Amino acid sequence: MQCLQHLNSVVAAKIAIDGGLVLGNAGFSRLLEGNPDAGTRIDVRDHFLNPSFSQLLAVQSSGVQPVFIGILNLADKHGIGRSLIGTVHRDDRHLTLMAEYDVDDMERLNAHVIDLNVELAEVQRNLARANRTLQGSRNQLKVLAGGVLEMQECERRILAYELHEELGQSLAAVMINLKSPVRSASQQHVELDAQAVEMVNDALHQVRRLAHTLRPAALDDLGLVPALRWLAQQTQARNGLAIEVTATEALVRVESRPETVCFRVVEEALSNVVRHAKATTVKLVLDQGVNDMVLGVHDNGVGFDLALVRDRTAALGGIGLLGMEERVSSVGGQLEILSTPGAGTTVRLHFVLAHRT
C-alpha cells in the first residue's frame, strides 16, 4: 500500500510550452536526478529513472506494478493529456511502459491548430492587402503633393510677372507723369508732386520686392546659385545675419523642379533661423556635381529638440518641417535635419539629378 502511494505521486514529465520554452532531455534528466521524489523520463528512444524511482522499484516484490502518471498539460482546456494509465514491467535489463490516451482529443487539438493556422493565414493576407493599399495611398499623396507644389510655383511665377510687368510699369508711368516739366510750377503743386513721387517710388519698390519674393527672376534666368546668393544678400540686409555662401556651379543646368525645391527649402531654413535660432552666422554650402547635388544650411544658433518640435508642430497643425520634407520628397530627394540644443542646426538636402535638354 505504501509502495502504491509512493508510485501514485510520480511525475513522468513536466513540459513548459508557454512562451516557447522547451526543456531538453538532458536538462530535464538533471532536474529529475536532483529531485527527492520518484520521477522518470520516458520517450521512444530511451528512458531515465532518477535515484528515488530506481530505489522504489528495486524494493518491489512483484515484477509488474500498476502506475498512475499525471501529466502537467497547459493545453488541458482542450482535454488533451489529462492522464496516462500504464503498467511498468521491470526485469534485470528492461523497463516497459504500456500506456493509453484519448486519440480523439489529440485529433481535436490538431484540428484546432489547423483552424488557427488558417485564420492566421487569412489575417496575414488581409494585412498584406492593407499594406498595399496604404502604400498606394502614400504614393498617390506624394504625386498630389508634387502637383500642388508645382501648381503653386506656376501661380507664383504668373503673379510675380504681373506684379513686375503690369503693376510695376503702371507705377513707373505715374512717376514719369509726376516728374513731367509741363505740370504746374506753383510751390504747392511742387511739394505735392514730390510727396506723390516718393509714395509711388515706395510702392514701386514694394511691388518689385513682392515679385522677387514670389518668384526670383534669377532662379528662372540664371539658375540656383545666383538665386541663392540673392536670397542670402536680401536676408542679410534685412536681419543683419552674416551669411557665407560657398557654391560650385555646374556647367549644365539641372531640371527646374529640384532647383525650385532647393531654393524654397533654403528660404524656409533662413526664415527659421531669423525667427527662432538667435544665430549670428549662417553657412550655406552647395556642392553640385554631374549626377547629384548636396546642399547644406548650418547656423550657430541655439538649436532645438527635433522630436519635441515635430510633436508640437503636429499637435498645433503646423507644416514647417513637414512642408520642407514634402517638397524634397516630391522630386525624389532626401532631407536631413540635425539639431542639438545649444549646438546649432544643420539642414542638408541630397538630390540625384537629371539635366535639362
Q: 179 and 185 in contact (C-beta within 8 Å)? A: no
The 10 Å Cβ neighbour count of residue 248 is 11
The 10 Å Cβ neighbour count of residue 78 is 14
What pLDDT shows up at residue 62? Answer: 44
Q: Give the residue among 260, 268, 274, 257 at the shortest CA–CA distance from 227.
A: 260
List Cα–Cα distances, 238 to 107, 230, 232, 241, 270, in angstroms.
82, 12, 10, 8, 12
All structural domains of the chain, each given as residue ranges with its CATH number in brackets, are 2-101 (no CATH), 222-357 (3.30.565.10)
d(CA 144, CA 86) in angstroms, rounded, equals 73
- The pLDDT tens digits of the residues spanning 279-332 come to 999 999 998 877 888 999 999 999 998 888 877 766 665 556 777 888 888 888
- The pLDDT tens digits of the residues spanning 252-278 come to 677 778 888 889 899 989 999 998 899
Which of 35-44, 87-96, 321-330 is least confident? 87-96
What pLDDT shows up at residue 66? Answer: 44
Do you know the residue count of the chain?
A: 357
Locate 52 and state its grid cell: 528515488
d(CA 147, CA 141) in angstroms, rounded, equals 10
Q: 174, exposed or middle or buried, with CB in 10 Å at 0-12, 13-18, 19+?
A: middle
List Cα–Cα distances, 292 to 34, 192, 333, in angstroms.
70, 57, 10
Query: Percent of the chain having pLDDT more than 90?
Result: 14
Contacts of the segment 139-144: beta carbons below 8 A, 24+ positions apart: 142/329, 142/330
d(CA 356, CA 334) in angstroms, rounded, equals 21
d(CA 39, CA 197) in angstroms, rounded, equals 110
d(CA 228, CA 283) in angstroms, rounded, equals 12
d(CA 213, CA 220) in angstroms, rounded, equals 13
List Cα–Cα distances, 229 to 14, 28, 64, 166, 246, in angstroms.
77, 76, 101, 27, 9
Predicted TM-score of the model (pTM): 0.51
- The pLDDT tens digits of the residues spanning 121-136 come to 898 999 998 898 888 8
